Every structure is written in structure tokens, then in C-alpha cells.
């Protein structure tokens, strides 16, 4: 069966995108990436004030995957745009996850600033993947601004609460002509599968994998759940009913 994920005219091998934060080590992160089969990973940019013994993350990322810089830490459009330009100038390509967060308690994104940043960066040729609150009007604005996908949150970052925004995400899937990638809050494989069963084009997870007791096997578990959820969606699940519908024939031959 032909079921390809295309983002910005590129064929993406896996519908599971993986963040690289919070892993116990880069070596374990590397093995989790391999186990996940992911084609797109996110990285972040941080200030360095003095030397440290930390290893270079780039030495641990497979060569055949897309590295997408996250603008995390940006609170405004200008800051996000600047991070994107730095990533490109530093040789890390055109894929940008726009994450603009003015709020430290819930880490909820600022849709208005994100739309502005999307417009600026899409014009500069970036492949823009905006992380947003699931809002239909804003998702359409992102489409108009040239976004390559829309990445609505399932629940606050790192909360592991699952697809709490499910009804709104479903509306985006139905109404927006871009890949909808559920990002944030996906704490367990069942959450990932749920998002995919709804019809999401892909799922991005990080904390749920990275903080597991065994991140490598958890990465594989997530990848399997994403695939299972996708297959469910394209197979067309049966309808939900309030009463029972027998799955075996009930013709009575024991009673007349």
C-alpha cells in the first residue's frame, strides 16, 4: 500500500519524529534514534559561557536524517528568526521548528508571534514547522504564511498527558491542507497511536522516550505505535455505538 508522508516535497521515511532533549547520554540518544527509525530529529541552540566536557551532539546524529533546529528559548518573532538564521549559517540546513514561548509555567506557544515568524522564514526559503496551540483560524494563517506543516500540541510540553486537545486537533486534520503533526504531551505509545488514529500525519515525541527507564526500547515502542495508529486510520475504523452489536451470529439453535 502506498502511504507516503511528504513534507515540503520531500518523502519522509517515518511518521515518528523524535526530539533529542533529556536523554541520559548522547550515546543512548543515538541508539534510540536508530531504534525509532525516525527521519527527522530536533535539536536546540544554547549559549556557551565556558568550556565543558560535554560531547558534540552532531557526532551522535546519523548522517541520513534531517536535523531540524528548534527555536526553543525564543520569546518573540525576532528571537526565533534569529535562531533560524544562525542554524542555517552554521550549516544545519533549512528545517526549522518554530517554538515561541513567553510562558514558563505551561510552556504554551504564542500563536501570533509564531505566524509572523513563519511568514518571514518561509519567504527566506526555510522549511517551517510551527509548534502552536490548536486553533483553526491560526492554522489557516500558517498555511497562508507558507508553513510546511502545522504542529499542534497534544498537552503541555513534558507533561506526558496525551492528546488532551483531541477534538481541536481533529478539526485541524479535517480542515487544514497541510500535514498535521501532534507535538508535545505525547508521553506513551498509546498517546502516539491515538493521534495517528485521529488522522495526524505524524507525531513528534521527546520526553516520553528520553526519560523512560530504557529509552532505546521505548523509542521502538513509540515507532510501532505510530505505525499501528496510522494503519488503523487508513483502514477506516468501525463506528462507535452505545449499545452492543454482536460479533458472532446469534441465531438460536440451542433454544427454539
Partner 1 sequence: MRIILNGKPEELPANLDIETLLVSRNIDLSKVVVEYNETIIKSSSWKATIIQEDDRLEILSFVGGG
Which residues are catalytic, by number? 97
Q: Which three cell numbers stand for residue 84?
A: 533560524
Cα–Cα distance for residue pair 61/56, rounded to 1 Å = 10
Residues that bind partner 1 (CB under 8 A): 19-23, 26, 29, 42-51, 54, 56-58, 69-70, 72, 82, 86, 89-90, 92, 157-158, 184, 204, 206-207
Q: Which is nearer to partner 1, 69 or 118 (CB)?
A: 69
Q: What are phi and psi of 143, to 5 degrees?
A: -60, -50
Cα–Cα distance for residue pair 61/75, rounded to 1 Å = 27
Helix H or strand E encompassing 121: helix 111-123
Give min distance, CB of 22 to partner 1, in A.
7
Give min distance, CB of 91 to partner 1, in A.
9
Q: Which is nearer to partner 1, 125 or 144 (CB)?
A: 125
Tell me if 149 sits within 8 A of 7, measured CB to CB.
yes
Q: Which is nearer to partner 1, 20 or 193 (CB)?
A: 20
Q: How many CA atoms lie within 13 A of 240 on its CB side?
A: 0
Tell me if 121 sits within 8 A of 115, measured CB to CB.
no
Q: Which is nearer to partner 1, 157 or 225 (CB)?
A: 157
Give min distance, CB of 238 to partner 1, in A.
35
Give min distance, CB of 42 to partner 1, in A.
6
Amino acid at each position: 500500500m502506498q502511504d507516503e508522508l511528504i513534507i515540503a516535497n520531500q518523502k519522509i521515511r517515518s511518521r515518528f519524529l523524535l526530539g533529542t532533549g533529556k536523554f541520559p547520554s548522547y550515546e543512548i540518544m543515538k541508539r534510540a534514534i536508530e531504534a525509532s527509525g525516525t527521519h527527522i530529529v530536533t535539536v536546540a541552540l544554547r549559549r556557551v559561557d565556558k568550556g565543558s566536557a560535554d560531547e558534540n551532539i552532531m557526532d551522535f546524529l546519523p548522517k541520513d536524517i534531517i536535523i531540524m533546529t528548534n527555536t526553543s528559548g525564543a520569546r518573540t518573532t525576532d528571537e526565533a528568526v534569529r535562531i533560524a538564521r544562525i542554524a542555517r549559517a552554521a550549516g544545519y540546513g533549512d528545517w526549522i521548528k518554530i517554538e515561541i514561548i513567553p510562558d514558563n509555567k505551561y510552556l504554551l506557544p504564542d500563536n501570533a508571534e509564531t505566524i509572523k515568524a513563519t511568514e518571514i522564514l518561509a519567504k527566506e526559503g526555510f522549511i517551517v514547522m510551527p509548534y502552536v496551540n490548536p486553533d483553526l483560524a491560526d492554522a489557516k494563517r500558517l498555511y497562508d504564511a507558507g508553513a510546511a506543516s502545522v504542529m499542534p500540541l497534544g498537552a503541555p510540553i513534558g507533561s506526558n498527558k496525551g492528546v488532551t486537545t483531541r477534538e481541536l486537533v481533529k478539526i485541524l486534520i479535517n480542515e487544514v491542507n497541510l500535514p498535521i503533526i501532534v507535538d508535545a504531551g505525547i508521553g506513551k505509545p498509546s498517546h502516539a497511536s491515538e493521534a495517528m488514529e485521529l488522522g495526524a500525519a505524524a507525531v513528534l515525541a521527546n520526553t516520553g522516550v528520553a526519560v523512560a527507564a530504557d529509552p532505546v526500547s521505548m523509542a521502538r515502542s513509540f515507532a510501532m505505535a505510530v505505525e499501528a495508529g496510522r494503519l488503523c486510520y487508513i483502514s477506516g475504523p468501525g463506528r462507535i455505538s452505545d449499545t452492543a452489536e454482536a460479533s458472532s451470529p446469534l441465531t438460536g439453535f440451542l433454544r427454539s
